[in-house]
Structure 1
């Protein structure tokens, strides 16, 4: 039977392997990490899941302090940071074990601890030469490390080395100005560290201005320095400070840890014979095909947006095309979220003609006691003249779920008028549905219908 080889056991590679194995194909999945690390990729080991784990604790601490300020509870609990890291890693290992069992049970052969080198359509596994029927490259990404003096000092961490942090820093400097930097700034600040964020340009510059303002509000207590040029990290055997230049002024910021959250770079150093871009990203077309017939790619190795749901979908599209189903990638509005005090979620199709409507988020589960401080989040929709929805923004405890479903409805051309019959579960923190109903009423009045 012709064999299909998949390089990488992250979201793209694993989902593709399940798809192909369920269709009766012989599938070999090569995962560079050892058995102890398991499959799961960036998402499980260094991305989404660590953020979820640490954010859960950070929100709990935030809520405890809020109740303490309101006189509703005694002193807020203090985090045991080393214990949090150990327990997080134990849960990650359990999830990896579940993924391994699920994948093997589907009929996929998993090879751990090996680097599959690709040259055109030929794969080298140590000295073994394999020419499979088809290949999917899903080797993922690595942390983007800026080339500055002192970047290798002890006390400099990335999402990949976070598990080696043995104590909570007193003051941590976070390098980066995008979602990852914002999420870890919230986590460390709520754990009790002093936090300074160094953003090379505008902080969260690609995020809708309304949501950006909400993010900065939720990052109260965090120092955010924009247009900051990191010049050096100093210390003798351990991080002591960073030097940063803003405009013409240089300043030294004392710290005992640095966290690099400067984005991701495709990991394609073992991939050759296929066309790659300037950052090493494997170039694919809308069918996830590379420049070599029979070789496909998906996930972070193909470049931005570096999102797990996109990687999974790319893996499915690649697998379906191997199976002879001509399927294209089609994600016009990708739902995303920034996990801070709330889920700051959005799904936008890029329209420049839609009109915005926004309201403060309604009080409901997990926001009732936020009313005294006016921190219940917000809701915003972008509406075209014909009532079609071109974007939604939700800062709420369930914002991610809202954005996911709304992106699906947007893809299928639902309009604000379709929400006239919508009945919500009450109480809710979702202000999007109410805005849709209100927008429908305004448009009908305007048209006289």
Structure 2
């Protein structure tokens, strides 16, 4: 038997892979299957972002006189109906996993003692183990960070009403996505970033994100000293540039990233921050013990976790398969999908154009707000990176990342026939870059 500890994207895909190969698999999951993505991350963000975009679009059409009043938000109904859809998805994932032949043990948190998985008082004897216990919200070391009125993506469903004044602690993608959502819901949002806001992103993406967050107050280089006051009127002492001040708000959302959830894993090498150490085959230093997903550390992305789980499973099945981290596509979901990937080729040069008019951008033309398309091209024509802000940016980045892995040249787009209308300007840039390079070669 093979035991998989944790039913998130990594563990579930690994279990299905193994069971489909005819192996006996037991999956241990304390809560609902689906992990961080379904219950606290990707899916709740999608749900709330859909509503936020609807409100934004309604506001634009109302301003143009096409539609009447912008609809009111029922925040309580949003959370309630969102939970119902999550339950439906949970049932689908449960059935899919069981139909593959996986036995699922729900309700108890398993732990690993360095040799085997223990559930309650029972040891699960196994020939191999995959540790995929996921991640949890990273909580900064701030006095009062666990006080009532302070939420994380894990506790957001307990927010009883839409806060009039919301403070978001964090400066990364998670903070930006929630800032967009709540600002469109009608909250007055202040983002407190200890360093630079979205500092690790492509600069074109970062600037676009800041533009989409117009109306959100973003304070960079700000240290939160504490969270005090009452649950109805929180007080946050701050320090910025040597000056101290106090910010009042109705709720705080900590969106400072994730940290590995590995407290139940003992007798196994981990980094000081709790990351389980694995090699390129997703194997730990203990024979037969693998780890996959967020518990192994960044980038904390669902598609990466899925692939890590499959790689671990394939190696248990006897294949020598390495995990490939090159050209991983990512997206930041605001009004548009701000998506990007790169192989970090230092010789590549950028080309950028405004986004094209099409589904989801037509009415943005008067405001010159159609997003953008960007590619990075190496001297030999190799596509080495892209970024885009468009309604379908995530899809574009996913396929472009695969082409980059396959070392596609911009010249390979000469026969590309696009779907029209579309908001994808990346293919057009590739064709343009090909023409420029060919013209340069002639001279």
Q: State the TM-score, normalizing by the size of structure 2.
A: 0.99
- Find the counterpart in structure 1 of residue 50 from structure 2: 56
Please list the CA deviations of residues 319-346 of structure 1 after superposition, one character each: whole Å capped at 9, or x if unmatched. 0000001100013100000000000000
- Find the counterpart in structure 2 of residue 70 from structure 1: 64
Contact 1:122 1:132 in 2 (8 A): yes
What is the SS of the residue equivalent to 1:338? Answer: strand
> Displaced runs of 4+ in structure 1, greater than 2 A?
236-239
- Whole-Å separation in 1 of the counterparts to 2:74 and 2:232: 22
- Find the counterpart in structure 1 of residue 249 from structure 2: 255
- Find the counterpart in structure 2 of residue 108 from structure 1: 102
- Find the counterpart in structure 1 of residue 347 from structure 2: 353
Contact 2:167 2:191 in 1 (8 A): yes
Structure 2 unmatched runs, 5+: none
Match of 2:312 among 300, 318, 321: 318
Contact 1:176 1:200 in 2 (8 A): yes
- Find the counterpart in structure 2 of residue 151 from structure 1: 145
- Whole-Å separation in 1 of the counterparts to 2:89 and 2:205: 32
- Whole-Å separation in 2 of the counterparts to 1:442 and 1:121: 60
| Offset, 1:237 | 4.2
Contact 1:282 1:302 in 2 (8 A): yes
Correspondence 1:31 to 2:29: yes
- Whole-Å separation in 1 of the counterparts to 2:251 and 2:378: 47
What is the SS of the residue equivalent to 2:72? Answer: coil
Match of 1:162 among 153, 156, 165: 156
What is the SS of the residue equivalent to 1:331? Answer: coil
Correspondence 1:180 to 2:174: yes
Q: State the TM-score, normalizing by the size of structure 1.
A: 0.98
Contact 2:411 2:430 in 1 (8 A): yes
- Whole-Å separation in 1 of the counterparts to 2:272 and 2:436: 48
| Offset, 1:147 | 2.0
Contact 1:121 1:131 in 2 (8 A): no
- Whole-Å separation in 2 of the counterparts to 1:19 and 1:231: 47
| Offset, 1:234 | 1.7
Match of 2:277 among 283, 286, 310: 283
Please list the CA deviations of residues 283-311 of structure 1 after superposition, one character each: whole Å capped at 9, or x if unmatched. 00000000100000000000000000000
Correspondence 1:387 to 2:385: no
What is the SS of the residue equivalent to 1:296? Answer: strand
| Offset, 1:425 | 0.8
Match of 1:430 among 418, 424, 435: 424
- Find the counterpart in structure 2 of residue 336 from structure 1: 330
- The aligned runs of 1:231-270 (5 Å cut-off) are 231-270=225-264
- Whole-Å separation in 2 of the counterparts to 1:116 and 1:292: 18
- Whole-Å separation in 1 of the counterparts to 2:75 and 2:236: 24
Match of 1:224 among 190, 193, 218: 218
| Offset, 1:241 | 2.3
| Offset, 1:239 | 4.5
Correspondence 1:413 to 2:407: yes
- Whole-Å separation in 2 of the counterparts to 1:39 and 1:239: 36
Contact 1:153 1:238 in 2 (8 A): no
- Find the counterpart in structure 1 of residue 111 from structure 2: 117
- Find the counterpart in structure 2 of residue 441 from structure 1: 435
Aligned residues between the structures: 443
CA separation of 1:152 and 1:239: change in aligned 2, threshold 3 A: farther
- Whole-Å separation in 1 of the counterparts to 2:115 and 2:128: 8
Please list the CA deviations of residues 210-233 of structure 1 after superposition, one character each: whole Å capped at 9, or x if unmatched. 110000000110000001100111
Contact 2:168 2:254 in 1 (8 A): yes
- Whole-Å separation in 1 of the counterparts to 2:239 and 2:347: 39
What is the SS of the residue equivalent to 1:369? Answer: helix
| Offset, 1:278 | 1.6
What is the SS of the residue equivalent to 2:369? Answer: coil
Contact 2:5 2:117 in 1 (8 A): no
| Offset, 1:398 | 0.2
Correspondence 1:210 to 2:204: yes
Contact 2:231 2:250 in 1 (8 A): no
- Whole-Å separation in 2 of the counterparts to 1:332 and 1:146: 30
